[in-house]
Structure 1
Amino acid sequence: MKNIMIVLFLVCVSGCTMPIHGTYISSDNETQSLELGSDGMYVLHLNQSYTGQYHISNDRVYLSYPMGYTVTLQIVGNQLIDQNGTIWEKS
C-alpha cells in the first residue's frame, strides 16, 4: 500500500505544473502587461498593443511578432524575465 501511495504521489507531482497562461505585469512599469492566452495567442500592452502567437519550450516563452521578430522570456516560478532583465509578475 505504501508503494502505491508513493507512485501516485510521484505521478501527480510530475504532472502538476502551473499553467503559464494568464496576465503578467511589468516590474518596471505597472501599466505594461502581457496576456498569454490558453490558445497560444498573446497581447502585449506597452505604449501600444501587440498581438501574436507564443510557444513554450523548456523554461522559455517565445513571443512571435508578425514581422518575424521573436522575443524570449525565461520562466522562473510565477514570473517571466525578459531579455532586458525585467521581471513580469503573474497577477
Structure 2
Amino acid sequence: MSADAAVGPDAEVDARGQRCPLPVIRLARAAADLGPGALVRVLATDPAAATDVPAFCRMRGHALVATQDAGDGATAYDVRVGG
C-alpha cells in the first residue's frame, strides 16, 4: 500500500462482478465527478481490469498509485486523478 492509499479514497467504485469495459467506464465517471487530485479506489473481479485500469490511467493522465488484493477475490486499484 502506498502513502496515497493509506489516506483513504475520495470515492470507491465497486465494480465487482462487472465485466470489461464497465469497471473502466465507472472509473471514468467517478474521475470526472471528482476532478484533479482525487483518489478513486476501484474494486474489480474482472481479470481484464489488471490491464484495462493501468492502460486507462496512461491514456487519461491519471496515476495508478496502488494495486492490492481486496481479500474477497477482487483487486483494489487506487487511482489518483490527473489534471
* Structure 2 length-normalised TM: 0.31
Higher-helix-fraction structure: 2
* Structure 1 length-normalised TM: 0.29
Structure 1 or 2, whichever has the larger Rg, is 1
Higher-strand-fraction structure: 1
